[in-house]
Amino acid sequence: MVVSDDHRTVLLDVTLTTPLIMEPKGRITLPTRLVNALKERSLVWVPYKNHLRAYLPSTWKESVVTPLLAEDTWDEALTEKHRRRLALADDIHVDEHGRCSLSPLLRQKAGLARECVLVSMLDRLELWDAERWQAWVDLE
């Protein structure tokens, strides 16, 4: 279910932390309850530090693109921020079974291997390599 309030669009109204297995060519299958909750049949995936973030296209525009449009594109530091957020983003189709294929570049940037963990984060999803996720969990 997609819930909207005055500030942000919430992708899911449930908490989701689940292991996934990535096929050798980068295909993952999203959990059925997530697929059923998606109102759009694609996700915008973008590398962020040591994992991937995924947004519905409408949420991507609202949460990422629109705020960037308000910034000075002639400022070098801001241009670099824009490049990091936009140049590597990839709008990827999710089929009716929840399958989507991540590009080699996205997988490499996030250090994804076969075993992954998918986490819901209100307005986005995060996809982590399972070992990196466990290392983050162990820090807490």
- DSSP-derived secondary structure letter, 98: S
Structure tokens at 89: 């983003």
Residue 139 pLDDT > 80: yes
* Of 81 and 48, more confident: 48
Mean pLDDT across 128-132: 96
**Domain range enclosing 134:** 3-139
Residue 136 pLDDT > 80: yes
Paired strand residues for 28: 100
Residue 124 pLDDT > 70: yes
Residue 14's pLDDT is: 53
- CATH code, domain carrying 124: 3.40.1550.20
The whole model's pTM is what?
A: 0.85
DSSP string, 21-60: E--TTSEEE--HHHHHH-SSSEEEEEEETTEEEEE-HHHH
Number of domains within the chain? 1
The contacts of residue 25 (CB under 8 Å, 6+ apart) are 101
Residue 10's pLDDT is: 53
Mean pLDDT across 98-103: 96
